[in-house]
Homo-oligomer: A and B are copies of this chain.
Amino acid sequence: MFRHVVLFTWSADATDEQKAAVPRRLAELPGIIPQIRSYVLGPDAGVSTDTCDFAVVADFDSAEDFLAYRDHPAHQAVIAESIKPILAGRAAVQYTVDA
């Protein structure tokens, strides 16, 4: 299994509506991009002080399937239209997970 983890920090002026659009639109992607095996996302719970704002943990069968997801037009559209306009920071890792 190949896992992609990305953490987003939103800009200070991001509206609640803009922030809510991200999970709503990302949640559509498993129905559009067949390579997605698992897609677990959500806003930070506010339990710690030094955290980012949003997490996506996406699992694939292979690195190639992750790249198909990464470059898929539907994914790129969410990034361009809903994420980039309110993005202040991004951190990501992709790693191989034992079955």
Contact = CB atoms under 8 A, between A and B. Distances in A.
A69 B57 CA distance: 20
A67 interface: yes
Contacts of A54: 93
On chain A, which size bracket covers the interface? 20 to 34
A-B pairs with lowest CB-CB distance, top 10: A91-B91, A42-B95, A55-B93, A44-B93, A7-B91, A47-B94, A5-B55, A52-B93, A51-B92, A7-B93
Interface of A: 2-3, 5, 7, 40-45, 47-48, 50-55, 57, 63, 66-67, 70, 89-97
5 contacts: A3-B55, A5-B5, A47-B66, A52-B91, A57-B57
